[in-house]
Amino acid sequence: MKTKIHAIDPKYLKQLSILTPWRTVAACLMDWGVIAAAIAVSSHLSHPLVYLGAIMIIAGRMHALGVLMHEVAHYRFLKRHRFLAELLGDIFVAWPIMATVDGYRHNHLAHHRHTNTDSDPDWMVKKGTAQFSFPQRLSFGIVNLLGYIFAINTVRDLRRILRQLSETTKPTKAYTGLRIVFYLAILSIVAVTGSWIGLLLYWVVPFMTFLFMFQHVRSVAEHFGSMDYDHELSSTRTVKPYFWERWFFAPHNVNYHLEHHLCPAVPFYNLTKLHRMLLADDLYRERAHITRGYSTGLVKECFFPSGITGPAIRS
């Protein structure tokens, strides 16, 4: 049952739900621009620490592309041209990170319909696993993150994702053929330009390491660690990130996860306004699970929960 939020003005909510496609396009262009700049700077300076920073930044923007895929999956890009929206979403945000809009949609919309229940596919593949059981020892959490740095946990997560997709999605031959053509075109460009080392260093490495680490942290933040699953407002977490955290764990306002669950029709660029509107509601202020910082509040809730006095941790 949906929680009644009296502060939600239907007319204002309708305004917040109006799509502004150019903002999604601008966000996508920014992501790709940052990726290109990181590659250029690292290639020019050829320093190990600069390279480490570059792959972290690239992985953060890959994460951002995944968030834009999430927007397209919710039909929050183009209102009247869904086929075009999905095609552009696949080419520019989903296929580059080895995903598909439709495959993601099948899983994610089921998550929205059955959040934190046995019918929630996201919940069921994580429930009871060591990496999603909290509170847990800090040493285990650190080792788990290191498992992503060395790509061990990435391989595990990829196998889980592929298994889920094989059970829920049946792409057409035409779609599969188009996707194969896309990857062959990319590989052809790489072959002609002799950029195999660049592809490995600046795409495969960040994809197999930091991208999945960032996604894991966000996945934990959204529904795990000191949560009260008996109430809608306290079973999903919104995080108020520090500036640097936005680049890695919370691109494109994805940190407003509770707001997104309450009003999924609101696109990412209006979630901050939605959050401010919800703060006018007494029930929301009392029960909403709001945490300050992925590296501070979330760590406390997941590894040191004894200091928590209520469902919401605020700055």
Domain ranges of the chain: 20-230
Distance (Å, rounded) from C-alpha 206 to C-alpha 54? 9
Identify the segments of the chain with pLDDT beneath 70.
Answer: 1-7, 307-315
Distance (Å, rounded) from C-alpha 124 to C-alpha 135? 18
Residue 186: what pLDDT?
97
Residue 312: what pLDDT?
38
Distance (Å, rounded) from C-alpha 227 to C-alpha 234? 6
**Which of 245, 255, 265, 311 lies closest to 284 in space, CA to CA?**
311
Distance (Å, rounded) from C-alpha 190 to C-alpha 201? 13
**Which of 153, 291, 192 lies closest to 234 in space, CA to CA?**
291
Residue 7: what pLDDT?
66
The single residue listed with the structure tokens 């003005």 is: 9
CB 293 within 8 A of CB 240: yes
Distance (Å, rounded) from C-alpha 83 to C-alpha 100? 13
Residue 170: what pLDDT?
82
* 3 state SS of 277: helix
109, two tokens: 């919309």
DSSP-assigned letter for residue 291 = E
167, two tokens: 């059970």
pTM, two decimal places: 0.93
**Which of 164, 165, 141, 163 lies closest to 153 in space, CA to CA?**
141
The single residue listed with the structure tokens 């999945």 is: 212
Residue 9: what pLDDT?
83
Half-sphere exposure of 115 (CA within 13 A, CB side): 21
Residue 169: what pLDDT?
77
Residue 83: what pLDDT?
93
Q: Which residues contact 45 (CB under 8 A, 6 or more apart)?
A: none
Question: Tens digit of pLDDT for each residue in 220-230?
Answer: 999 999 999 98
Residue 311: what pLDDT?
37
